[in-house]
Chains A and B, each alone.
Chain A
Amino acid sequence: MERVSGLLSWTLSRVLWLSGLFERGAARQPRIMEEKALEVYDLIRTIRDPEKPNTLEELEVVTESSVEVQEINEEDYLVIIRFTPTVPHCSLATLIGLCLRVKLQRCLPFKHKLEIYISEGTHSTEEDINKQINDKERVAAAMENPNLREIVEQCVLEPD
């Protein structure tokens, strides 16, 4: 009986925590999330567009409001990025998604899980693209393609 009630209270607190209702320094959270979101944005805004000689920020593919950070638990965060591709071209949108993922995987200093989406309504096949860019096996295989890898490397190269 003890074990059952222990399990029940554990489950309950977990459900409440996951749904954001469990109070854990709630007042402190919004500021930390904003700081973290800015850290993320600072890394992605300088990524170059695969086609044009401009950064994603210059082309407004990403803006500060593209980044959302949620706390999963202490020292672990969920980063959600919603970007707006300039052209409704499938492969370019996928390429941008790839660049975002690679840049953050390499440079973001805090422990995180990453979700990348095309902003709703900006693309006809957005569900297809979102599924691909969030499939880590597909991303890993794409990065082993030398041509694709070269393009991504050029896009994420830090400006001098």
Chain B
Amino acid sequence: MAVDGGHRDRGDWDGRWNHVKKFLERPGPFTHPDFEPSIESLGFLLETCKILVIGAGGLGCELLKNLALSGFRHIHVVDMDTIDISNLNRQFLFRPKDVGRPKADVAADFVNNRIPGCKVVPHFNKIQDFDESFYRQFHIIVCGLDSIIARRWMNGMLISLLSYKDGVLDPSSIIPLIDGGTEGFKGNARVILPGMTACIDCTLELYPPQINFPMCTIASMPRLPEHCVEYVRMLQWPKDEPFGEGVGLDGDNPEHIQWVFLRAQERAADYSITGVTYRLTQGEDAYIPLNNYLVFNDVDGLYTYTFEAERKENCSACSQVPQDLQFPPSAKLQEVLEYLTENASLQMKSPAITATLEGKNKTLYLQTVASIEERTRPNLCKTLKELGLSDGQELAVADITTPQTVLFKLKLTS
């Protein structure tokens, strides 16, 4: 095989990549119609292709191993976490001596020392620490994240990189996103071509809604046991700091959960609310698998199912269709906030709403900065009319689920 020769400089030997060449250099019954077999493909994979792995946890470790063994050489990995002893039962790139060190660093060291020619660059960061200039350099991005919010943010970032020439999407601006998630015995994997195939937000309704409650309900008008738990979690814990100064609530620490549970019960008793249980306090897991693309369910026997998710016509993330908000002028701002968080297609976490009023940019409500939250909280009880908003007004909404502000057009109904 003539193509095997002349690669000794890469540290290769004859036939090292034969198995990979089998699908890169010849067509097959399952190849994409646009795929052109070429001897160049292998070279690209080995020499040029820059791949980003997000998350160096359970999925991340497996991903790095598989990618490195498959021949990818330019890999970056991002993870904001440090190693905990409970990770060692599955995150096999880490050892007991690594506990406390950043996952990205240790994972990169491990792979670099192990696979000749492979260069993994670690980033001990949140994905939000980087902007377009960072993400633009990659040919493909693979996610092994543990939160839906992070996925949506990544999804939004890649959509923001798309460029259109005369209304036509420029394919070279597409960075494929391969997203995977697991929970217990279940898992899923999906391939997203931003701008072309269904994005994360297109199929957001398939995720059960992550319940968010407005601050005023939590602070002064609880009705449900969940409100009591949230009160303790969000307001009482930072105030009391029961486990020491600066010690945050660890959802996996039974002592923390127990404290929250008891305080939530006390609050519930004050308002004659029943239903606060330990299980409720523990809450749902952060990641919930999505019924999309490849579903792997190993609970009752094995079930794998692959299907094609459809793009949503008016997806708030990828459709470029302007989003409407319809409310009567007598509606309170609180109702708008509830809509943004509870609507199955939007599922925002803590949206900040701003509007241009009398030529000035006015923050109507912002939750994530305590002083501004306190200052703007009274607006929640005011009507849209009282706030001076008019029909056709543009509202800019920022949220942790998206790197870009989402513009809504306010339609005041009569």
- B and A form one assembly: no
Give B contacts to A, CB under 8 Å.
Answer: none
